[in-house]
Amino acid sequence: MGENIELRTYVFIDRMQPQYAAFLGTVSRGDIPLAGMSQLFLEVAPGSEVYGMLDIALKSGEAKSGFQDVEREFGMIELHSFSVEGVLEAGHSILSRYNLSEKNKILPQVVSSKIINNINPYQAQLFNRFRQGSLVVPSESLCIMEVEPAVYITHAVNEAEKNAEIKIVHFDPVGRYGRLYLSGDESLVKTAMDAAHNAVENLRRS
């Protein structure tokens, strides 16, 4: 059943951080995720396979979904619950039904990353026009990172928030590249970027 399916990502998040969960709550199209919940993202090609995968997950236990997205190339679903076991069970049910393994997933890589220090007021306003999280304040530092495949950016953002008191301005896990935007004090933004890099690197080794 899984012979023609590409498992692009399989991302487990043990405990959603407060800002991260709040941001997802503003864009969720289904059940609202809350801080402290565990979470799982799957991205596959062809994209329409996510409909059957979500059906399997929802019938396997208590995990609920906030996202069921299909775009031009890929499909993505998200599952969450306060029960770690419930989230993992849902994921394993999908993998088992499709004869897939976590080892089939594509390993993530950081495509680009940069920090803009002492951000100009005009550029801050341009970022604020599209953000769905916190405002970028002039003179703050701003971290921008791109990851491929896109969904891995979720893990990078959550780990960044775990390790530094920064603001989540925006992140987008849909498409070919996932992007994050974090702002705050220069040293804390640097710590957050390092944590995001380490999170991606650790997934490559897992």
- Quick one: which of 163, 167, 152, 165 has its CA closest to 201? 152
Contact 17, 162 (CB under 8 A): yes
* Sheet containing 64-70, strands listed edge to edge, beginning at the edge strand earlier in sequence: 6-13, 38-45, 75-81, 64-70
What pLDDT does residue 108 have? 96
- In this prediction the pTM is 0.93
- List domains and CATH numbers for the chain: 6-104 (3.30.70.1710), 109-205 (3.30.70.1710)
Q: What is the pLDDT of residue 61?
A: 82
Secondary element (H or E) of residue 141: strand 141-148
* pLDDT number for residue 1: 55
Which pLDDT does position 25 carry in this prediction?
Answer: 94
Reduced to 3 states (helix: H, G, I; strand: E, B; else coil), residue 107 is coil
Residue 73, pLDDT score:
82
Tens of pLDDT, residue by residue over 127-174, are 999 999 999 999 999 999 999 999 999 999 999 999 999 999 999 998
Residue with tokens 């289904």: 30
Give every residue of the chain whose pLDDT is below 50, as ranges: none
- The predicted pLDDT at position 168 comes to 98
Amino acid in position 98 = Y
